Each structure stands twice: as C-alpha cells, then as structure tokens.
Amino acid sequence: MHEEAKAQRRWPTPEILRRAQFVDDAGPIRFVDTEAAARYLALSAHTLECYRSLGGGPAYHKFGKWVRYAVEDLDTWAASCRRSAAAASKAPSLRPIDPHSSEAI
C-alpha cells in the first residue's frame, strides 16, 4: 500500500464514525473527555479532576490512561445536584439584640 494512502487512512472517516455510533440496539453510546464534560456542566476541568480524587462528582470511566464521562452519567449527576428554590428561599429567623427579649424578630 502506498505510504500516502496509509497516512490518509490513519483516522476514521466521518462515515465510519457515523456507523460506529450505534452498538447493537442499545442506541448511541457517547463518551466525552474531561474538558468537554467540564464545558457541558459549566465547571472547570480542574473541578472535575478534584471530584475524581476526592469523590462526589459524576461517574467516570477509565480506558487505560484515558478518563471519559458518559453524557448520561453527567445528566444524572447534574440532576442529583438540583435544589428546590422553595427550600433556598426560607429565611432564618433573626435573634433579638435585647438579651432580655425572648421574641424572634
């Protein structure tokens, strides 16, 4: 095979990638790297790296030395971080300045 043809076939063509997008009938399997996952979640890549070492972040996969996140796992983790606006809007009661008064303001 000609060296130029080998160099051109080093990377998969868009057609090959489109066909490889589906495995069996399970549907698309989409993995993204740390940078893309961070952009998707509006976080920094450093934040995701810290979550990986300290825990508490989205699930991730290790393929050899490569870290990849499934988009479905990112969505699941983001949903678990959701907080209710009603709970956040509840203001704490204030303590009176007068130590002899027992009523909260």
Residue 26 scores a pLDDT above 70? no
What's the predicted TM-score (pTM) here?
0.56
Neighbouring C-alpha atoms within 13 Å toward the C-beta of 38:
14
Residue 103 scores a pLDDT above 90? no
27 domain residue, yes or no: yes
- Domain range for 62 is 22-78
74 domain residue, yes or no: yes
63 domain residue, yes or no: yes
| Total tally of structural domains belonging to the chain | 1
55 domain residue, yes or no: yes
Mean pLDDT score, 57-81: 93
Neighbouring C-beta atoms of residue 44, cutoff 10 Å: 13
Phi, psi of 28 (to 5 degrees): -70, 140
46 domain residue, yes or no: yes
Phi-psi region of 93 (alpha: psi -120 to 50; beta: other; left: phi over 0): beta
DSSP character string of 12-23: --HHHHHHHTB-
Mean pLDDT value across the chain: 76
